[in-house]
Structure 1
Amino acid sequence: MLIEKIHHVAYRCKDAKETVDFYKRVMGMELVGAIAEDKVPSTKEPDPYMHIFLDAGSGNILAFFELPKSPPMSRDPNTPDWTQHIAFQVADVAALETIKAKAKAEGLEVVGPTDHDIFKSIYFFDPSGHRLELAAWTTTPETMAKLKAVAPAMVEEWAATKKPPRHAAWLHEKEFAAH
């Protein structure tokens, strides 16, 4: 494989300064760069922007564009809010609880921790409406190998039937049994 890692992932934000402040305060991310131009370098379109880059740890960069001349941000009305999200890995469940407390102190509604069997996660929205997930692994290499082994068959079955294959149903069975 020629790909080494993701260089950065970019999203739109409503306000660059508000976004930098939020991610620093709640997530502990530092601003590592900013680029602003009147024209898009790749397309030469006239579209003033502020492009910010945040350190998401371990060489990962989360970037945002503020586009003041573009129409207001909105979501695809055909995509549920829970689907599109940015997921960050944290060291352990204690780190999840720490960030959950910070998010709640910001007045944010936090869902979770949700037990996905292989990891636990919490969810909340940033100031621009992007759903964030923070996840802490709780699994073993054996469990991950089991999940990887059934993944190709699951994708093939889904492609043929568009019905959820049951190969990895054990991941959420205890979660659904509790409700």
Structure 2
Amino acid sequence: MTQQRVNDFSHFELNCSNMKKSLGYFSDVLGMTLVSIQWADPAKNAVRAFMRMNDRATISFLSTLRTPIDIKMGVTHSKNAADNTRAGTLQHTAFNVDSIEELLALRDRIRAKGVHCLGPMDHGFCHSIYFAGPDDIALEISTTTTDDMAKWIVPSVVDYIGLTNDELERLKA
């Protein structure tokens, strides 16, 4: 029988006002390593990077060109994985499953509970489903579909945020 529960923490995403500064902080201060840097949408007005926390969990950072949002409790949090939020706020929480079959089983279970669920969406390196939790917190369940981590670092995004080759290699190390 296919497991119908999440089994681990996958990642959480923070909006940030300065991608280069955030990556440097989490690398230098917390010892995380860069595993992904890419355009976050087809319009190329947002970039996303992932840093490894351990073998199964990462932290994700999102930086957009949209107008900054002042902190306002109850307003600045995201209601779904596509909403714009203020730098430093939690964008969404993602949980992990080990296979597409488990992802689909959980999607069916969530829908059976009367919760609207989008997906799965194919992001090239993972498949994800999205739904809202209590208090409209944006939630995701994903499963990684490739071991080729080189696909996760997009040179045009590296250039866009102003990382030199030396800085990129240091972040990856």
Scaled to the shorter chain, the TM-score interval is 0.3 to 0.5
What TM-score do you get using the length of structure 1 for normalisation? 0.42
Bigger helix fraction = 1
Larger Rg: 1
What TM-score do you get using the length of structure 2 for normalisation? 0.43
